């Protein structure tokens, strides 16, 4: 019976979803597989076409943000359409907030391959779990490992924190490009770059503005250090550092000095309307252990 | 609280009595429009506060943004070397939109300063070190843009407007009396 075969394919898919076996799910799906995900889905939402788009556009970021398993309670055999009903259980990787939400997946199976997925789940609960930051909103303190990230430093390039290992890094979270003062925080750091360089330190500005906005801003202000776009998912990196303001939807004004081993040496939260200057940064850089 | 780390001293450009109850230090850039806007405000504060206020100006040229900021600061320092700092300072702010060699010559001539010496000082960047010293001291004190003001050594984070600043200065005088 082909119907039973279809259900078996879908069962095999969920059995292959266990960590380490996900590669096998590729062979069960058509290379032209289509995923339709709820618009409110955090991390990645909407319509994905083709196995590569699904893998890179959706699965990578989904499992990157969520450490979860799909546990199917029931399969409903509708012939060419098979419904899997169960729960998504696990936790959000960054916040550690536990997750346990129901899901329904409706699979269209043709010619022995999974062709289309229509997924339904409680996207609000998933979003909330991703938004929580360690149960409070305080900055990561000195001594904490600086969470790694890879963000756009220009429309075509990304920069990861890990790539700067071996040198101190100054991470400056700020609310938005184009603040209406000429000697603003980023322009000031640009001016002080030679001093920062005497410590071998890299400066990175981070806001939720997109890479094109950053480019225009950097060009207008002649900035010679990278501005990173914490743009999608919005403020994700800032959340990890406790530097996101969920009310304004922008970053707080927060400074971190990270030592050459990737450990936070100093962090500072400035009132949102007061540019913090560079005195604290230079003090922190001065106190880093000297090279032998 | 962000504190001025370089105390006001002999080398500073200062107006008003040394023992005034309030010392207001400005870190400024001659090309910065916000400093330009603050210039008449400071004058008004000086007029209303009289001998209660000593005003100090330190250089903080944002050269990455303002191509005339350094040359203007050097011209003011040249004026200082000739004992005419405040005259040159005022002229630079009052003619902020025309900063450049022609204006510097006009200012020098107005106060009888030898333009050839001015040209020499600009070319050799004679006063660059001093300006750099002001700038670095400002950075270490938490200057976070221009203009940045310090009232009796504490950074003023309010708006650089007359009402707000004179209220802040008034509070300092009150607390000194209290």
Which parts of chain B have pLDDT scores under 70?
1, 178
B142–A282: do the CB atoms touch at under 8 Å? no
Give per-residue pLDDT as tens, B147-168: 999 999 999 998 889 999 999 9
Q: Do B145 and A195 touch (CB under 8 A)?
A: no
Mean pLDDT of A112-132: 86
User: In sequence order, which ranges of A147-270 are alpha helices (DSSP H)?
Assistant: 185-198, 211-221, 236-240
B159 CB within 8 Å of a chain A CB: no
Binary contact (A188, B142; C-beta < 8 A)? no
User: So what's the pLDDT on residue A136?
Assistant: 44
Cα–Cα distances (Å) from A104 to A17, A88, A119, B119, B170, in that order, read 16, 10, 6, 79, 67
**Nearest by CB: B29 against A183, A224, A279:** A183
User: Comparing A36-40, A58-62, A211-215, A240-244, which segment has the lowest mean pLDDT?
Assistant: A58-62
Chain A residues closer than 8 Å to B62 by CB: 182-183, 187-188, 191
> What number of residues does chain B have?
178
To the nearest whole angstrom, how far is the Cα of A196 from the nearest Cα of chain B? 11
The pTM of this model reads 0.68
b/e A234-272 (16+ beta carbons within 10 angstroms → b): ebbbbbbbbbbbeeeebbbbbbbbbbbebebbbbebbee
Query: Which residues from chain B sit within 8 angstroms of residue A282, using beta carbons?
Result: 139-140
Residue B136 sits at the chain A interface (C-beta within 8 Å): yes
Residue B142 sits at the chain A interface (C-beta within 8 Å) = yes
- Judge contact between B173 and B52, C-beta under 8 A: yes
Residue-level pLDDT at A246: 82
Model pLDDT, residue A46: 87
Q: Find, in chain A, the residue whose alpha carbon is nearest to that of B65.
A: A221
């Amino acid at each position: 019976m082909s119907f039973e075969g279809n259900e078996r394919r879908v069962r095999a898919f969920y059995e292959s979803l266990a960590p380490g076996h996900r590669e096998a799910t590729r062979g069960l799906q058509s290379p032209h597989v289509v995923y339709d995900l709820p618009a409110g889905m955090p991390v990645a939402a909407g319509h994905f076409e083709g196995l590569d788009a699904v893998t890179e556009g959706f699965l990578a970021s989904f499992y990157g943000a969520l450490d979860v398993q799909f546990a199917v309670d029931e399969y409903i055999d509708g012939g060419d359409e098979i419904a899997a009903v169960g729960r998504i259980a696990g936790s959000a990787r960054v916040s550690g907030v536990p997750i346990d939400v129901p899901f329904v997946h409706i699979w269209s199976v043709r010619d022995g391959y999974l062709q289309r997925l229509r997924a339904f789940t409680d996207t609000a609960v998933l979003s909330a779990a991703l938004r929580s930051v360690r149960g409070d909103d305080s900055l990561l303190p000195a001594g904490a490992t600086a969470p790694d990230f890879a963000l756009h430093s220009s429309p075509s390039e990304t920069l990861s924190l890990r790539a700067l290992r071996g040198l101190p890094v100054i991470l400056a979270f700020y609310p938005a490009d184009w603040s209406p003062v000429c000697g603003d925080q980023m322009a000031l750091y640009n001016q002080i770059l030679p001093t920062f360089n005497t410590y071998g330190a890299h400066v990175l500005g981070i806001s939720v503005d997109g890479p094109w906005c950053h480019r225009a801003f950097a060009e207008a202000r002649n900035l010679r250090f990278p501005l990173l776009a914490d743009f999608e998912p919005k403020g994700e990196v800032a959340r990890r550092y406790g530097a996101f303001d969920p009310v304004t939807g922008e970053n707080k004004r927060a400074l971190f000095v990270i030592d050459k081993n990737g450990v936070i040496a100093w962090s500072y939260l400035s009132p949102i309307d007061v540019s913090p200057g560079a005195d604290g940064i230079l003090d922190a850089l001065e106190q880093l252990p000297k090279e032998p | 609280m962000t504190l001025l780390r370089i105390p006001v001293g002999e080398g500073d450009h200062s107006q008003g009595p040394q023992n005034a109850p309030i010392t207001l230090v400005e870190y400024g850039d001659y090309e910065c429009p916000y400093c330009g806007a603050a210039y008449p405000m400071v004058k008004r504060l000086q007029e209303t506060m009289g001998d209660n206020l000593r005003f100090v100006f330190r250089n903080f040229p944002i050269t990455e943004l303002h191509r005339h900021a350094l040359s203007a600061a050097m011209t003011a320092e040249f004026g200082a070397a000739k004992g005419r700092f405040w005259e040159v300072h005022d002229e630079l702010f009052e003619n902020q939109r025309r900063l450049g060699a022609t204006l510097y010559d006009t200012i020098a001539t107005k106060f009888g300063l030898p333009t050839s010496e001015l040209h020499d000082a600009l070319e050799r960047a004679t006063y660059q070190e001093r300006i750099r010293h002001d700038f670095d001291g400002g950075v270490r004190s938490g200057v976070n843009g221009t203009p940045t003001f310090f009232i009796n050594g504490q950074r003023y984070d309010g708006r650089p407007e007359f009402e707000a600043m004179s209220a802040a200065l008034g509070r300092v005088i009150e607390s000194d009396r209290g």
